[in-house]
Structure 1
Amino acid sequence: MLRPWPSGAVRVLCRVNRPFLARPQANPARFPSTRSLQSAATDRVPLRKQLKQEAKALKAQKKLRKESEEASRQDWELTVGVEIHAQLDTEAKLFSRAPTSTSDTPNSNVALFDLAFPGSQPEFQAATLLPALRAAIALNCQIQPVSRFDRKHYFYQDQPAGYQITQYYEPFARNGYVDLLDYDGIAPEDGGRVRVDIKQVQLEQDTAKSQEYPPATQLLDFNRVSHPLIEIITMPQIHTPATAAACVRKLQAILLACGAVTTGMEMGGLRADVNVSIRRRGEAPGQHRYDGIGGLGQRTEIKNLSSFKAVEDAIVAEKNRQIAVLESGGVIEGETRGWTIGSTETRRLRGKEGAVDYRYMPDPDISPLVIGEDLISSLTESLPTSPDSLVTQLTGAEYGLSIEDAKPLIELDDGARLEYYQDVVDILQSLHPDQDPQTHAALTRMAGNWVLHELGGLLTKADRAWDDTIVPARALADLVDHLQQKRITGSIAKQVLAAVFDGDRRPVPRLLEEDNLLLRPMSREEYVALAETVLAQRPEMVEQIRSKNQLGKMGWFLGQMMRLGEKGRVEAPKAQEVLQELILGKQ
């Protein structure tokens, strides 16, 4: 029976022009049942959890691979030798009277001999020998009474003569050594001390400075030609990358301390080359022999490393490369390789030249160097204190610094930071000449902290180089003295230091008086009242500290007391003591 359309309804007729198709039978695999859907829902892993599990598995995989690689590398012994090229601190060049300043207009400090002008002759400048001798003496070398210069031949645009003058066969210094201690940053597996022997120290001339402008332009500045260099060649006795970097760092510190060089590695005054070889432990010794040490693997040389980190990273990369080559059945080639900061691999530059390739020959135009014992004795007696002796002095009774503070003081700013610190200590001692040893030790340690960390932090934040006139030593000494005698609080001291750093040249005692910054001690009653006011702000936090021992939240209340209290009057130790008493009942 047909039912009529409801009144007012709109009838839509749709004509279908295709035959009726029977509905296909449902595929259970494609259309799961309700029960199977419920089961899948219980087995489903949330995406976030799945990603976390995958990341964890990948990390574990990488760890296993790294441990496997490390275990493989333990089968190999690394051997490293270091060559240091350092610019000597001299006014004239090695073989001409042209000045050594490299910051002047390019090619403005050049003599005819520097350009290999036909007919020009080398004139050895005797004064250039003095810093070289200081360096060799500081490195415990035997000074040779007679030494000679040789020509090292190679053809490159930075060397107009076609050869470099150096001392290959008879250098002026031999058989030195440098001791590396644990605080120098040597690898833990090397123990507390490593002695690295120095084969020789030789004088040589620097080359021109090259600047490339791709694709085909190269500019040359001959101001640097014949700048006096010393080359320090160590024996291949280093077996870890960290110790190799520590060796370069220690050599630089010694050269700077004895006044032999212009600047350090960071400013381009020192460059390092490293010779790297490996051999499998327990197997028959290799066939190669370097500098009197036999049984080594084939070495490669990595040239012109310009930072301590680059030294360590380049050695690690080259070690891994050589292991991979040997474990895959390959052979290490003797070659010169390069390193780019931020890279993970060394790159081939050229085949390794040998003595035959350079065609060394005695220079016929330069007389032998004859060095008298009286000169050596005079320089030895006037040699400045060595870095190791300075560490001993700074960590001893006179200053009482930790090794963590002593090392940076010696190394920062070519020793200028250490001189400033010693000036501050001398002023503090003059203020209290009769102070007891305990008070003196507290003052010297506090002065070290403020020179290194507080003043150093302001310099870093302002991105300014070290300058002892920014905060005069007298100003910092007065500040430390007031702080140690509890005439000001730590926060006020930092405020005053920042003011002096920004140019306030009032004497510190007057500045404190005029700005009403001297400490007016609070009574115990004032501390208690202030603490009770702060505790009332967060009673729930007080309960958490008491019931759950969440002592870290005590710092919030201390900060509030320092903020709400009268400026310069709240002393943090006393405020902390009152808080502990009121919250925990500790007297």
Structure 2
Amino acid sequence: MLRRWYCHRFVSTARLYTSSLCAQRKCFSTSTHCRFHATAVDEAEVAPLRKQLKDAARASRHQQVSDTNGKDQLRRERLKDWELTVGIEIHAQLNTSSKLFSRASADWTDVPNAALWPFDMAVPGSQPLFQPPVLIPALRAAIALDCDIRPRSKFDRKHYFYHDQPAGYQITQYYEPFAVNGRVTLTQQDGLAPEEGTLHIGIKQVQLEQDTARTQQHDEETSLIDFNRSGHALVEIISLPQLHSPQAAAAYVRKVQSILYAVDAATTGMELGGLRADVNVSVRRFDGATGNHSYSGVTGLGQRTEIKNLSSFKSVEDAVCAERDRQIDILEAGGKIEGETRGWSLSNPGATRRLRGKEGEVDYRYMPDPDILPLHIDNDLVAHFRSTLPPVPDQLLDMLRLSYGLTADDAGALLNLDNGTRLLYYQDVVSRLTPSSNNNKTAFGVHVGNWILHELGALLTTTETEWHPDLIHAQQMSDLISLQLKGQLTGPSAKKLLRILFAGEKEPVSVIAERENLLFQSMNDQEYVELANRVIQDHPKEVEIVQKNSKQAQGKLKFLLGQMMRHGDRNRMEAQRAEKTLRSILMP
């Protein structure tokens, strides 16, 4: 039945093609078999159809690629006349046990409005009470971002009215923040394009401020407010407008998040809502005659717009790209950019949308908070944190390359995988292999990196398993690698043993290897000779070429060696001894 159905479809397709040919030749016959094509439908007739369909599909793909390349080329040509400038404000939740101005727990529960003190909901008569432990992760963050810590800072009120801010103002540090003049360095390893080189992005200031409540849309007419997040301690990290590409903007946010993670300053990253970014975007035309950038004939930055609450690195890159193109379209059409706040939706990722007019300093009516005393930070405290700060990503990258011998790609992968837990696991395995009297980690670093990143990483990918250090205990992994380095496990046997451990086997590696007959037991000389003679007998032509020492001799010798490895017991064979045996017989 299947064959009949297939043949029917096969013939029908051929007839449709024949009819189309008749139409092209002005044939008005209603019969498929007209005088131009009065032949049976056979393979000779079907073959051109198949080829034509394949050629058409191939041409379509080439056309799509050509169109895309053409559009990209037009975009690149267009962007030569414009410079993009981006400044970014990052809001990161600090890793604290209490909120900024109340003793309410910062460890939220799933129960809405359960982690609250009166001040978090602006109950009349309640007063802010600064929580000193909040300063610890804040200082870690600012020092890791290479900021100057000011000995005296103050809190201000930023007024706006929205249902997630019950007091009608947010407490922040606008005029006198606790940290200023920081810097983040970006390289190609961080995701920059090669032509961008190395970028040093200035940080204007880092300030403490309150987080807002969370809004949940219940239905079209009802919003629910959860105040558990209200009052949580944030740091706002404000960059200078020194980013000039969407890729650099995303790389900057990613780098800041990795720094905050490294020094244990932030709770979670963008993926869990613990870090959010507001991007300020402007464009200005490049004046080819003078070599300067200008906006409306006046040197300086263009009118900026702000895109709020971006929650992923991809959103940062895509939103900047979309807003850049929108502004260029308006300016090239003779329009004017309005200062406004815009939004970005993952459900409509093609363009930004207007939310409201852009508020300025006057709109927010900043004023010193009369209920909170200035914050004084002792220089000795700052010095203590500088001396005890964990290494930041750039320092870790250098350490992995210089001390462990890893490539930049492998070192970067270890830094970025699994919030640093893969890196800790890697260092644990290396330390178990390195004798206490020997600090030379490069002897094992590359080998361990290959097993953890590539071999174990492949198993994680193919089985869609989430990484956890307890999947394979560090001691088991170090024992496996040790056996292979000692020559007691071949490559295939070691990979098989890794799969057994990955499946959950907790016994010692040596016990498993012996039970599964994986330990290497070398063949004796007589066994190598017998195997070599068997291969030589089966391949006389290749043997003749090798013995004549012609140009193809080396290739044929490798072929014969491959045959030995293929037909022998790979768990007992050594390639070097096999090749030595072959050479001794064929070229005595």
Q: Shorter-chain TM-score: which interval?
A: 0.7 to 0.9
Post-superposition CA distance 1:270-300 (Å, at most 9, x none): 11111111111116623799xxxx7001111
Query: For the Cα contact (< 8 Å) 2:214–2:225, is it kept in 1?
Result: yes
Q: What is the deviation of 1:349?
A: 2.0
Match of 1:389 in 2: 395
Q: 1:353 aligned to 2:359?
A: yes
Contact 2:212 / 2:230 at 8 angstroms: preserved in 1? Answer: yes
Asked whether 1:509 is paired with 2:518, we answer no
Q: What does residue range 297-446 of structure 1 map to in structure 2 within 5 Å?
A: 297-341=302-346, 343-396=349-402, 398-430=403-435, 433=437, 441-446=442-447
Task: Give distance in 2, aligned partners of 1:558 and 1:96.
Answer: 75
Alignment match, 1:238? 243
SS in 2 for 1:407: helix
More deviation in 208-217 or 135-144? 208-217
- Measured in 2, the distance between the counterparts of 1:267 and 1:179 equals 25
Q: Which structure 2 residue ranges, 5 or more long, are not aligned?
A: 1-24, 29-34, 38-44, 544-549
Offset at 1:538? 11
Change (3 A) 1:49 1:381: closer
Measured at CA, do residues 53 and 496 of structure 1 come closer, stay the same or move farther in structure 2, by a change above 3 Å?
closer
In the alignment, which residue of structure 2 is the partner of 1:285? 294
Secondary structure, counterpart of 1:356 in structure 2? helix
Q: What do residues 28-69 of structure 1 show as CA deviations (whole Å, max 9, x unaligned)?
A: x9679xxx979xx9xx99565456546545643443343123
Letter in 2 for 1:441: T
Q: Does 1:183 align with 2:183?
A: no
Alignment check: 8 A CA contact 2:561 2:582 kept? no
Deviation (angstroms), 1:386 = 1.9
Distance of 2:509 and 2:344 partners within structure 1: 51
2:265 corresponds, among 228, 239, 260, to 260
Query: Distance between the aligned counterparts of 1:541 and 1:151, measured in 2?
Result: 87
SS in 2 for 1:224: coil
Measure the CA separation in 1 of the matches of 2:83 and 2:60.
36
AA of the residue aligned to 2:365 = R
Give me the whole-angstrom Cα distance separating, in 1, the residues matched to 2:556 and 2:115: 66
How far did 1:71 drift? 0.3
Q: Distance in 2 between matches of 1:310 and 1:482?
A: 46
Paired position in structure 2 for 1:72: 78
* Secondary structure of the corresponding residue to residue 373 of structure 2: coil
Whole-Å separation in 1 of the counterparts to 2:534 and 2:224: 72
Deviates more, 1:458-467 or 1:201-210: 458-467
Are the aligned partners of 1:174 and 1:198 in contact in 2 as well (CA < 8 Å)? Answer: yes
Q: CA deviation at 1:552?
A: 12
Q: CA RMSD in A?
A: 3.8
| Partners of 2:532 and 2:582 within 8 A in 1 | no
Matched, 1:568 2:571: yes
Deviates more, 1:517-526 or 1:200-209: 517-526
Q: Distance in 2 between matches of 1:536 and 1:210?
A: 80
Change (3 A) 1:132 1:573: farther
- 2:4 maps to what in 1? none
Closer, same or farther: CA 488–372 of 1 in aligned 2, 3 Å: same
Preserved contact between residue 83 and residue 293 of structure 2 (Cα < 8 Å): no
Cα distance in structure 1, aligned partners of 2:90 and 2:247 = 17
Distance in 2, Cα, partners of 1:554 & 1:344 = 59
Q: Of the candidates 200, 210, 214, which is equivalent to residue 209 of structure 1? A: 214
Could you tell me which amino acid in structure 2 is paired with residue 451 of structure 1?
I
CA shift, 1:219, in A, is 2.3
The one-letter code of the counterpart of 1:133 is L
Q: Is the 8 A contact 1:172 1:202 kept in 2?
A: yes
Please give the per-residue CA displacement for 1:517-566, whole angstroms capped at 9, x wherever unaligned. Answer: 11112457756876898999999999xxxx9x9x9999999999877654
- SS of the equivalent of 2:203 reads strand
- 1:278 counterpart SS class: strand
Structure 1 552/260 Cα, relative in aligned 2: closer, same or farther at 3 Å? farther
CA distance in 2, matches of 1:345, 1:558: 61
Tell me: CA distance 1:428–1:117, structure 2 relative to 1, closer, same or farther (3 Å): same
Quick one: which of 166, 170, 174 aligns to 2:176? 170
Query: Is the 1:325–1:332 contact (alpha carbons within 8 Å) kept by the matching residues of 2?
Result: yes
* Cα 1:157/1:483, change in 2 over 3 Å: same
Contact 2:284-2:293 within 8 A present in 1 as well:
no
Structure-1 separation of matches of 2:363 and 2:537: 85
Alignment partner of 1:271 out of 276, 281, 305: 276
CA distance in 2, matches of 1:113, 1:302: 30
Q: Secondary structure at the match of 2:395?
A: helix
Q: Aligned partners of 2:587 and 2:331: how far apart in 1?
A: 67
With 216-225 and 559-568 compared, the bigger mean Cα shift is at 559-568
Matches within 5 A, 1:69-108: 69-108=75-114
Question: What is the alpha-carbon distance in structure 1 between the residues aligned to residue 438 and residue 372 of structure 2?
Answer: 61
Matching residue of 2:135: 129
Supply the distance in 1 between the matched residues of 2:525 and 2:161 (Cα, whole angstroms). 82
How many Å apart are 1:418 and its aligned residue? 1.6
1:515 deviation in Å?
Answer: 2.8
TM-score, normalised to structure 2, is 0.81
Residue in 2 aligned with 1:485?
A: 486
The Cα offsets for residues 174-220 of structure 1, whole Å up to 9 and x where unpaired, read as 111111122112122211x1100000000001111222233233222
Contact 1:395–1:401 at 8 Å: present in 2 too? yes
Counterpart code for 1:132: A
Cα distance between partner residues in 2 of 1:89 and 1:298: 36
Shift of residue 466, structure 1, vs aligned partner: 3.4
Q: Residues 558 and 201 from structure 1, CA distance in 2 versus in 1: closer, same or farther, beyond 3 angstroms?
A: farther
Give the stretch that moved more between structures: 58-67 or 365-374. 58-67
- Cα distance in 1 between the residues matched to 2:534 and 2:354: 71
Tell me the percent identity: 52
CA contact (8 A) 2:528 2:581 kept: no
Residue identity in the other structure for 1:238: L
Over 3 Å counting, the alpha-carbon distance change for 1:523 and 1:372 in structure 2 is: same
Alignment counterpart, residue 60 of structure 1, candidates 45, 51, 66:
66
Residue in 1 aligned with 2:546? none
- TM-score, normalised to structure 1, is 0.81
Question: 1:291-334: CA deviations, max 9, x gaps?
Answer: xxx70011111111222222112211211121122112222221
Matching residue of 1:453: 454
1:443/1:484 contact within 8 Å kept: no
Deviations 1:381-412 (A, max 9, x none): 1111121111111111x211111111122222
**Secondary structure in 2 aligned to 1:251?**
helix
Give the secondary structure class of the aligned counterpart of 1:430. coil
Q: 2:124 aligns with which of 101, 118, 141?
A: 118
